[in-house]
Amino acid sequence: MEATVPILGMTLAGFEAAARGRGMVPPDVRAMYRRFHRTGEVPPGGFPSWVDDGRRPVHAVHVDGATAKFTMALHDGLETESVVIPMRHRDGSVTRTLCVSSQVGCAMGCRFCETAQMGLMRSLSAAEIVAQLHAARFAVEDPVAGATGFEIKNIVFMGMGEPMDNLDAVVGAIRTMTDRNAYGIAPVHVTVSTVGRTEGIRRYGDLLREPGFHRLNLAVSLNAPNDRIRSEIMPINRAEPIALLMAALLEFPKRPNAAICMEYVLIPGVNDAPEHCDEVCALLRPLRCSLNVIPYNPRRGSPWPAPEEERVREFVDRAIANGQFCKRRGTKGRSAMAACGQLGNAAIRNRRWVGVGAPEPAKEIVEIRVADA
């Protein structure tokens, strides 16, 4: 069987290189690539047999007529989950952020997270990650506009999985998403979140040192002011405690008018006391960072409820009084298990785990590290 090339996981330069080896001329290849990524259109006669267009069945659930959570079936019977989140601005305009998954399930075991209850099924390929953006742009219905597809401005790697445990695929996906011949997402509108994988943070920092990628963003799921609490709710902290995390963040590339986003899921009775706020502000003082307070969204079978709004407000106000730049993240999609920390398919929890490199149709391995100028 002829190996296929995953068009969704490639920059134009990589796709042209694969096409030249099959005798196709660059103008035709360039037009095919741009049309598919920019408009979702397939060539009139279909793609050549060596191209895998990566499109999969999509099922969407809309919340409050605006937030859209959608699942996409994969070749092996698993599925990804993604969320389109509307962001309303002070001038009344609305932009949309796409929250993408980098893995099916997650191995990190964070006690407050729905995805962690699945365990890790497998990592996604770059094409499977980009397919989530392609589906949001061209396959998911927008009931407000009465059309199919959303204009996506921001990409956040905050869905299922730990991006730093699948960094090669994540970087490959970012290269395609930001390719001006494809989706043209500005790097400043791309954020990768991590539980604190220090080696991954350093490798991601190397990408920011490449021309054109210095404005990519980093978010870190901190969620606790000290090792004792963090180790209780985030097992990764036992292997990579806060001191190691802080050291990696202090080495992370810095740029003017930008800061690392430190995420803090506020869990009642766990990390929401006034002294916790004071402690986390003192911890973050050496960093150039913002503190993003996220009211806990209960997972299935959660031992904790969502926090009271007054408690959230008190925590945010106290952080600001401590001199820490702090924002409260709005809660969207909680009723449909589409909010932060709620992605995960309960139906596949009991399946046998598959390897990170799950069997799939043969693909041609093509170098995709070329960034177009």
Asked if residue 365 lies in contact with residue 323, where contact means CB atoms within 8 angstroms, the answer is: no
Residue 317, in any domain of the structure: yes
Residue 353, in any domain of the structure: no
pLDDT of residue 257: 81
Asked if residue 115 lies in contact with residue 160, where contact means CB atoms within 8 angstroms, the answer is: yes
Residue 359, in any domain of the structure: no
- Give the active site residues: 340
E strands along 91-226, which residues?
94-99, 103-105, 120-123, 141-142, 147-148, 154-157, 190-194, 217-221
pLDDT of residue 299: 79
| The one-letter amino acid at 204 | Y
Give the Å distances, CA to CA, from 209 to 168, 213, 215, 246: 16, 7, 9, 20
The Cβ of residue 268 has, within 10 Å, a number of other Cβ atoms equal to 15
Q: Are residues 92 and 1 in the same domain?
A: no
Q: Per-residue pLDDT for 74 more than 70? A: yes
Whose tokens are 């609490």? That residue is 229
* H helical segments located in 73-226: 126-138, 167-178, 198-208
Q: How many domains in the chain? A: 2
The Cβ of residue 373 has, within 10 Å, a number of other Cβ atoms equal to 7
pLDDT of residue 345: 54
- Could you tell me how far CA 1 lies from the centroid of its own chain? 33
Total residues found in the chain within this entry: 373
pLDDT of residue 24: 85
Element containing residue 295 per DSSP (H, E): strand 289-295
Residue 16, in any domain of the structure: yes
Q: How many CA atoms lie within 13 A of 96 on its CB side?
A: 20
User: How, if at all, do strands 94-99 and 79-88 pair?
Assistant: antiparallel
Q: How confident is the model at residue 210 (pLDDT cuts 50, 70, 90)?
A: very high
Q: Are residues 288 and 339 in the same domain?
A: yes
| Tokens representing residue 4 in the block | 């296929």
Q: Are residues 35 and 146 in the same domain?
A: no
Supply angle C-alpha 255, 287, 298, rounded to 5.
105
| Tokens representing residue 124 in the block | 């996604």
pLDDT of residue 367: 28
pLDDT of residue 353: 40
Supply angle C-alpha 17, 21, 24, rounded to 5.
85
Supply angle C-alpha 30, 35, 37, rounded to 5.
100
Residue 177, in any domain of the structure: yes
Q: Are residues 159 and 12 in the same domain?
A: no
pLDDT of residue 357: 36
Q: How confident is the model at residue 152 (pLDDT cuts 50, 70, 90)?
A: very high
Residue 360, in any domain of the structure: no
Q: Are residues 171 and 285 in the same domain?
A: yes
The residue among 349 and 289 whose pLDDT is bigger is 289
Q: What is the pLDDT of residues 166-206, one digit of tens each?
A: 999 999 999 999 999 999 999 999 999 999 999 999 999 99
Q: How confident is the model at residue 351 (pLDDT cuts 50, 70, 90)?
A: very low
Task: Kindly give the interhelix angle for 167-178 and 198-208, rounded to the nearest 10 degrees.
Answer: 30
Q: Are residues 277 and 309 in the same domain?
A: yes
Percentage of the chain beyond pLDDT 90 is 71
Q: Are residues 194 and 134 in the same domain?
A: yes
Interval 329-355 mean pLDDT = 48
Asked if residue 315 lies in contact with residue 322, where contact means CB atoms within 8 angstroms, the answer is: no
CATH code of the domain covering residue 286: 3.20.20.70
Q: Are residues 210 and 142 in the same domain?
A: yes
Element containing residue 61 per DSSP (H, E): strand 58-63
Residues 186-217: b if buried by 16+ CB within 10 A, e if exposed: ebebbbbbbbbbbebbeebbebbeeeebeebb
Q: Are residues 105 and 181 in the same domain?
A: yes
Percentage of the chain beyond pLDDT 70 is 87
- Residue numbers of the domain that contains 5: 1-53
Residue 369, in any domain of the structure: no
Q: Given its phi and psi angles, is residue 174 left (phi above 0), alpha (psi -120 to 50 degrees) or beta?
A: alpha
Interval 25-35 mean pLDDT = 91
